[in-house]
Amino acid sequence: MPFIRTDAGIVTQINTSTVPEGGQQPLIELLREAAEFASTIPGWRSASLHRSLDGTRVVNYAQSDSLDAALQVIERLRAAGFLDRNAEYGQAHPGLYDVVFTLER
């Protein structure tokens, strides 16, 4: 489950991918496989997948315990070929983030 709090030390990778028509589900299936693989890596915390209602984008929201852990997760995914396979399904725009503000009801 995502943990969204300021000053928690958790690093969030938000990766928005633009996909061609019909490309959402294949990418979601690959990202799910990648998340299950990554879940065994020390420091990995969570992954959430989102699909746009217009069918053109997929967002992967993944969290790690620290920047070092996030970089280890990314490197292990790269070494296992997930990043190359991801590129086959669309154009990815990844970034690593800190939570700086939240507001809840």
Domains and CATH numbers, the chain: 11-97 (3.30.70.100)
SS (H, E, C) 20-64: CCCCHHHHHHHHHHHHHHHCCCCCEEEEEEEECCCCCEEEEEEEE
Using DSSP's 3-state secondary structure scheme, residue 94 falls into strand
Residue 7: per-residue pLDDT? 85
Query: 57-64 and 11-18: which strand pairing?
Result: antiparallel
- Report pTM: 0.92
CB 65 within 8 A of CB 9: yes
13-65: pLDDT as tens digits = 999 999 999 999 999 999 999 999 999 999 999 999 999 999 999 999 999 99
